[in-house]
Amino acid sequence: MRHSKYWDDFEKRAQETIACINSGITIPVRRVAVFITEKCNMSCAYCNHDKGKREMSEECFDSVVNKYGKDAIIHITGGEPSLVKWLYPYLIEHGNEYRFHLNTNALLLPPSSSVKRLKVSLDSHISTYWNRLTGINAFDTVVNNIKKCSKETVLTITFTMTKENYLTIPDFIEFSNREFKDVYAIFFSVYKGNNPRFIFSEEDVDSFFETIKPAMNATLNEESKNLLNETIQEKFRIIEGKRFPENQSGLCYLSLSERVISPDGTESACSHLYRDGVKNKPGEICEKCLYGCNRRLVDFNEYVKRELI
């Protein structure tokens, strides 16, 4: 399994999962995704996030950090985490003690030197389009915050590909290569949802694989290229419907070492399923695993399955 700073210790976790199962030991939790708030300060047209009002208390977060933080990455996401008033001061105070990872839209400057990984969404290099898409007039602010933060931590840009923006990707990469010299990688995810404005048609998928993907491979840095080729390697990854028939049955080994914490403190296991409205138990797969997973997670499970005695 390839080493990558993007995937959280996957190699080590796969080996540990195999060793624990083979010797009947409980698998330690290595990654905890904390959905710290449902609120957001943007209103992206493609957003599938359920924007409620729930927000985690500092006491609840502190108990999660005390319970898991010694052994696990604490991956903070939302909603938009920066809206939780006590969070950034907490990260600044405890950033040296724990491995915090943060997902943010970077409208407010993140405390980048207090987190080990930062993931920032940016889906266009065209300021007028991006301002309209997100409902906020702040393209330059976000670009400047990405520049500042990428000098202080491992920063990945997450670009959500849609029918509407995929043709602009080569120009987006050129913009990023010019403006974001310190960014670690760009990760391209595919729009999941049912808004016809954003869903790829079959012609779009053909055009993406024939012209856009080769152009991406020619200009992306090594890590971004690897991420692209290991997650979007076949046409049916972009088409709606079943993307991972491998997840039809069996056990999800990856989620045995993961936990998800919702704003009220309740626990489940898989953050992908959580975003799809499902709270599963560690190891449990369900109907939504056929669609909401990604190639790298499926590979983890297949690798562990193959290597078990």
- List contacts with ligand SF4 (CB under 6 A): 40, 42-44, 47, 49, 79-80, 105, 121, 247, 252, 254-255, 270, 272-273, 280, 285, 289, 292-293, 297
Q: How many CB atoms lie within 10 A of CB 214?
A: 10
- What CA–CA distance (Å, rounded) separates 146 from 251? 38
Q: Which is nearer to ligand SF4, 213 or 275 (CB)?
A: 275
Closest CB 222 distance from ligand SF4, rounded Å: 26
Q: Which is nearer to ligand SF4, 263 or 292 (CB)?
A: 292
Sort strands 154-161 and 73-77 into parallel, antiparallel or unpaired: unpaired
Q: Which is nearer to ligand SF4, 213 or 259 (CB)?
A: 259
- What CA–CA distance (Å, rounded) separates 80 from 87? 11
**Length of the chain, please?**
309
Helix (H, G, I), strand (E, B) or coil at 162: coil
- What CA–CA distance (Å, rounded) separates 264 from 266? 6
Closest CB 267 distance from ligand SF4, rounded Å: 14
- What CA–CA distance (Å, rounded) separates 114 from 302? 35
Closest CB 226 distance from ligand SF4, rounded Å: 20
Outline where the chain has alpha helix (H): 10-22, 58-68, 87-94, 127-134, 139-150, 169-179, 202-207, 213-219, 222-231, 271-275, 289-292, 295-307
Closest CB 304 distance from ligand SF4, rounded Å: 11
Q: Are 34 and 56 in contact (CB under 8 A)?
A: yes
- What CA–CA distance (Å, rounded) separates 21 from 13? 12
Cα dihedral across residues 47, 50, 54, 57: positive or negative? negative
Sort strands 258-261 and 267-268 into parallel, antiparallel or unpaired: antiparallel
Closest CB 74 distance from ligand SF4, rounded Å: 18
Q: Which is nearer to ligand SF4, 155 or 270 (CB)?
A: 270
Closest CB 283 distance from ligand SF4, rounded Å: 8
Q: Are 119 and 91 in contact (CB under 8 A)?
A: no
Q: Which is nearer to ligand SF4, 252 or 261 (CB)?
A: 252
Q: Which is nearer to ligand SF4, 44 or 215 (CB)?
A: 44
Q: Which is nearer to ligand SF4, 157 or 213 (CB)?
A: 157
